[in-house]
Every structure is written in structure tokens, then in C-alpha cells.
Amino acid sequence: MSPPSPQDMLAVHGGTPLHGEIRVKGAKNLVSKAMVAALLGDEPSRLFGVPRIRDVEVVRDLLELHGVRVGDEGDALVLDPANVEHAAVDQINVHAGSSRIPILFCGPMLHRLGKAVIPDLGGCHIGPRPIDFHLQALREFGAVVDKTDAGLALTAPNGLRGTKLDLPYPSVGATEQVLLTAVMAQGVTELRNAAVEPEIIDLICLLQKMGAVITVHTDRVIEIEGVPRLGGFAHRPIPDRIEAASWAAAALATGGDVTVRGARQVDMMTFLNVFRSVGGAYAVDDSPDGGIRFWHPGGELRATALETAVHPGFMTDWQQPLVVALTQARGLSIVHETVYEQRLGYTAALNQMGATIQVYRDCLGGTPCRFGRRNFTHSAVIAGPSKLNGADLTIPDLRAGFSHLIAALAASGISRVYGVNLINRGYEDFEAKLAALGAHVDH
């Protein structure tokens, strides 16, 4: 293995509370899907407030390989799908292993060209992350899926037809897959047990702008009436509520005070409740250039019990940054991860720094979930407060990586954090933001 490059290592001189103001742009987990949705239109689309992050670059490359012209207009992307074409398999495979977004090309490519080729999928290392719900749904629409050496090849010999679907779990990606396929399938699709995350609702709004007919019923039921053509969209995505919560947790863990411009209360209500219950303070500014100020009001933080869940529950991506703050709370905190089976591995690094976190296979502190029976280590007990000390850390995935960074900022002494390029996948200009908040970091 080649030694890590100096650019991929950040030396963090911890112990300084973060103070200041940063801004979040469009949500990574909407922007990447919106870019794929542009494939469905017969006109150019405009997406505003696009963050400069690696995941956006990967989707941009993939779109360009498929003949979409992508241009920049300030922080907007203009996506022109007039000449959509198949990409050479070896070109798509350059991105194999780096993103899970290609799976969402299936429906749009089948509609546009009758065929889709999808490389092996990557994304974060958080459990096996299967795509069985996606493939099952595509088959029900009439797609034929062939596994080849290069990945998956899909065709739709009789076109794509609306269908009745019931997801085994309200998967975000599978719901997006169904939306992006059903909007132009012939007839009506009824999707039960759909994900209803704010990013999904925003995708629905964007598709509606393109001409789609989508109804969100109560109880996770979405009905989509297929239409023969879609136009372009002009859309400003919802703000990144994962990035906002990450900086909020960093403010709390370091005893600081951070205003996150662009953050919106409505997308973060569950996070805000937990933030307050552990002793954090926040103030919402609803003005057009507003945001949310998050700070540590002094005194001791309080332990809590929380369970990650699908929306409107506590997001799985909020878990890792907040746990760092929980190492500073008095008492025993319990975290039950119910969305991913292996998303607590990062706690070993926190223990190495002085935290006391024990992980369990049982469903602790909440209702039994699908992982308890399957013997996955998915609950954690955090005993605090613990003094954190600087250490050498290697980042395993995006969100765990940001939690490592927060721990290094909260710790006394110097930490060397390796693999920081992974953070660029989802956090725009994070080093400049750290500098703006007064953090002492260098390469």
C-alpha cells in the first residue's frame, strides 16, 4: 500500500472551541439525485446552490459520459440532456466503487435509450448496502436485469409499465428509483412503505416542475401517474441538514458557538429536540439569509437515549457527529442504530482517544429492530464525560470521518487525521470552514 499523501492528512491542534459562521448549500443527498433527474427531461435543467463536493463531481462525470452537457453558471449547474447516449462500459467503470448514484440511472436510461449499464456500486463502507429493492422494483416495471462481468445490464423489451410496489423497508434510494422510473412509465404506480425524507419530497417537487404527476398520500404511500414527456426544471434544493447537524455537533463537542447559515428548522426538528435535551442551545433565524445558531451554553451536557430511524426520526447520518458530543455528557447515553447494521465501527477510534463507548448486538433502549435478530453490533452505550486526547486516526467513511474530525477538535493535543479527502465527498470547503471557525489545523 502506498503511504498516505500529506494532502490527505490533517494535523488538528485540538482544544479550541469553534466560534463563527459558516454556510451550507444544497443537500448532497438531493443534488446528486436532481442531477440524475435532469436525464428525464427534453429540455435543459438548472440546479442552484450546488455544493462543490466530490460526489457532485462524480455524478457530473457520469452524466457527461452519457452525453449530457453540464455547464456552470455561478453556483448553478445547467444540465442539457439533448444528446443522451450510452457511455462505454470501461468509461463508466472508472467510477465503479466510488458512488452509489449510478444505480439511479436505470429508470432514466431505460426511458431514454431502452438500455442501462450500471457499474459495481461503491459509496460508504457501512455494511453491505444491497440493491435488491431497486432491482426488484425495476423488474416489476418490466425491466430485464442481466448480471455481466462489467456490472448490470438492463433492458425493457416491452417498455416500462406502472405497477403496485410495497418496499420491505422505507429505503431512500429505492424510493428514488421508483420515482425516477414511474414518472415516465405507462400508467399508474402505487408505492407503499415509501421513504418520505425531506430530500425525497424535494425530489418530488422538482419532478413536478418537470411535468410529473405525483401524489403523496398519508402512511408512506406515493402514487405516480406516468406521463409521456417531461421538460426541464429550475430548482433550488433544500439545504444540507446533515452538514448543518455536523457543524452543530462540532460546536457542542468543542464548547463553541457556530451559526450555520442556510440551515432550516423544519428539516431538523428531530435533531433540534435532541440537541436541546442534551444541553445544547440553538436559535433559529427565519430571515431570508437566516440559519440556525448552535452553541454550548456552559455547564454540563446531559446523557440521552436515542434511536436512529427513517424520517421523521433521528437520521442515521446525525448519529456519528452527535456521539462525539455525547462523550462529553454526564451519565450513560444509549444509541440504537436501526438504519444500517454496521455504523458504529468508528467508536473504536473515539475510545482510543479516551472515550468510554461499549457496543452491543442487542437492541438497547428502544423497540427491537431488524438487526437484533441478525446479531449485528448496532447499539452503543457512551459513558461520560471523558477527557479526549489527540491521536492518529484513519477515516473509514464520510460521516464517521467528520466525527473523527470533531473528536480531534475537542481533544487536547495534536491529532493526525488520515484520509481527510473522504470528507470532501460531502462537505464543501471543510478546511476553509474550519479555519473560519478558528480551528487550528494544518497539513
Catalytic residues: 124
Provide, rounded to whole angstroms, the least separation between the CB of residue 442 and ligand EPZ. 26
Q: Which of 45, 98, 163, 171 binds ligand EPZ (CB under 6 A)?
A: 171
Task: State the residue for C-alpha cell 446533515.
Answer: 242
- Choices 1-9, 80-88, 124-132, 279-287; region in contact with ligand EPZ by CB under 6 A: 124-132
Q: Which residue's CB atom is positioned nearest to ligand EPZ?
A: 173
131 binds ligand EPZ (CB under 6 A): yes
Measured from the CB atom, is 237 or 390 closer to ligand EPZ? Answer: 237
Q: Which of 133, 247, 295, 314 binds ligand EPZ (CB under 6 A)?
A: 133
Contact 18, 55 (CB under 8 A): no
Provide, rounded to whole angstroms, the least separation between the CB of residue 165 and ligand EPZ. 12
Measured from the CB atom, is 193 or 333 closer to ligand EPZ? Answer: 193
201 binds ligand EPZ (CB under 6 A): no
Task: Extract the C-alpha cell encoding 80.
Answer: 442539457
Whole-number Å distance between alpha carbons of 153 and 117: 5
DSSP 81: -
Provide, rounded to whole angstroms, the least separation between the CB of residue 315 and ligand EPZ. 6
Residue 190 to residues 42, 52, 216, 253, 276: CA-CA distances in angstroms? 25, 36, 10, 44, 39
Per-residue mark of binding to ligand EPZ, 364-393 (x: CB under 6 A): ------------------------------
Whole-number Å distance between alpha carbons of 45 and 77: 8
- Choices 2-10, 25-33, 61-69, 294-302; region in contact with ligand EPZ by CB under 6 A: 25-33
Measured from the CB atom, is 118 or 329 closer to ligand EPZ? Answer: 118
Measured from the CB atom, is 63 or 195 closer to ligand EPZ? Answer: 195
307 binds ligand EPZ (CB under 6 A): no
Q: Which of 52, 169, 231, 368 binds ligand EPZ (CB under 6 A)?
A: 169
Measured from the CB atom, is 296 or 425 closer to ligand EPZ? Answer: 425
The count of chain residues that interact with ligand EPZ, using the rule CB under 6 A, is 25
173 binds ligand EPZ (CB under 6 A): yes
Per-residue mark of binding to ligand EPZ, 388-427 (x: CB under 6 A): ----------xx--------------------------x-
134 binds ligand EPZ (CB under 6 A): yes
Q: Which of 84, 174, 244, 263 binds ligand EPZ (CB under 6 A)?
A: 174
Residue 351 to residues 176, 354, 356, 384, 417: CA-CA distances in angstroms? 37, 5, 6, 12, 15
- Choices 63-71, 165-173, 233-241, 386-394; region in contact with ligand EPZ by CB under 6 A: 165-173
How would you classify residue 434: left for phi > 0, otherwise alpha for psi between -120 and 50, otherwise beta? alpha
- Choices 35-43, 129-137, 215-223, 226-234; region in contact with ligand EPZ by CB under 6 A: 129-137
How would you classify residue 170: left for phi > 0, otherwise alpha for psi between -120 and 50, otherwise beta? beta
339 binds ligand EPZ (CB under 6 A): yes
Contact 319, 308 (CB under 8 A): yes
Contact 250, 256 (CB under 8 A): yes
316 binds ligand EPZ (CB under 6 A): yes
* Binding interface with ligand EPZ (CB under 6 A): 28-29, 32, 100, 124, 127, 129-134, 169, 171-174, 195, 316-317, 339-340, 398-399, 426
